[in-house]
Amino acid sequence: MRLPVLVLGRAALPDLTAAFADLAQPPDLLLAEDRATMLDQLAVAGAVVADWTGHLVLDAAAARAGRRVRLVQYPGAGLHSVDVDAWRRAGAAVCHVPAANAASVAEWAVLAAGALARRLPALDHDLRTGHWTSGADIRDLSERRVGVLGGGAVGEACLRLFAAFGCPVAYHSRRPRPELAYDRRPLPDLLAGSDVLVVAVPLTPDTRGLLGATELARLPAGALLVNVGRGPVTDESALAQALRTGRLAGAALDVFGTEPLPPDHPLRAAPNTLLSPHVAGGSGTARRRIFARVAANLARLADDLDPHWPWPAAPPPEGSR
């Protein structure tokens, strides 16, 4: 019998189907697009591909419903919308896909920073409205000091790419990364020495609100902020105020505290901003990498092998079914 896999949300189906094309015996895919259907389908599923939008939450009630589930697979690096403890206690492995989209996210970060550094959004607007302006006040990206907040896969990829542009780079992370050939600095020092600050940390209790008004004020006047981590890491109201006053010269944001971004959000009206709808790690290239790993894990489960990439923050399983 083929492994029944419950997929939460229709958006993942094309990528999963393509990833299964080379499997001799692909799993049977079940689909849930609402909570009631999800709870019903969990009763027969052997594995679940979680919903990266956060709409369908795999909470403790879902864990109780999924009596046969052996694997909860999150199709991304961070783990959201999954009660890891509840599923581990129920005996299911909880896995993610680390670093699969790190190169794509880092590419977005360096391209967005370059666009802001060269004032491309403003110059495009000026030209379209009849103004032919000078670029004499533009500083190349290569001469700007770049600080990366985060030493994970995305942070490491950002350091490499910005260094390739000739930027002096440094980073801050909670744990030392001696294998990285870049300077690790305390957060206050990193902020004070960053003409471009790239936020590339996950959302945890320690990082929520990490960059408030006080921290943003430590950045050099005219600095740029690029956020490819999570929206709530930065105080968005304080950021919008710093942009309005000109204290910061620009911001490029792919993530927000509330997604989709509300129509009246202050960042929509903030000057010198480049906003995108949480797509830095969702390119077609990145999705192919992600779902190839998802398919590989589901194939391992069907062959009674332990899945790869267990979620590191989860406690050991407590008991079994």
Task: Name the residue with tokens 């030392």.
Answer: 176
* Contact indicator for 48, 72 with CB cutoff of 8 Å: yes
| Residue 123: Cβ within 10 Å count | 17
Task: Name the residue with tokens 């492994």.
Answer: 3
Known catalytic membership, residue 144: no
Beta-bridge partner residues of 162: none
* Contact indicator for 309, 95 with CB cutoff of 8 Å: yes
Task: Name the residue with tokens 């666009």.
Answer: 115
Known catalytic membership, residue 125: no
Known catalytic membership, residue 278: yes
Residue 10 CA to residue 33 CA, distance in Å, equals 7
Return the structure tokens found at 267: 């960042």
- Strand ranges of the sheet holding 223-227, from the earlier edge strand across to the other edge: 183-184, 169-172, 146-149, 196-199, 223-227, 248-253, 273-275
If residue 17 lies in a helix (H) or strand (E), which one and from where to where? helix 13-19
Catalytic residue among 10, 259, 268, 318: 259
Catalytic residue among 88, 172, 230, 287: 230
Catalytic residue among 144, 278, 287, 293: 278
Torsional sign, CA 298, 80, 78, 76: positive
Residue 234 CA to residue 65 CA, distance in Å, equals 36
- Residues annotated as catalytic (active site), given as ranges: 230, 259, 278
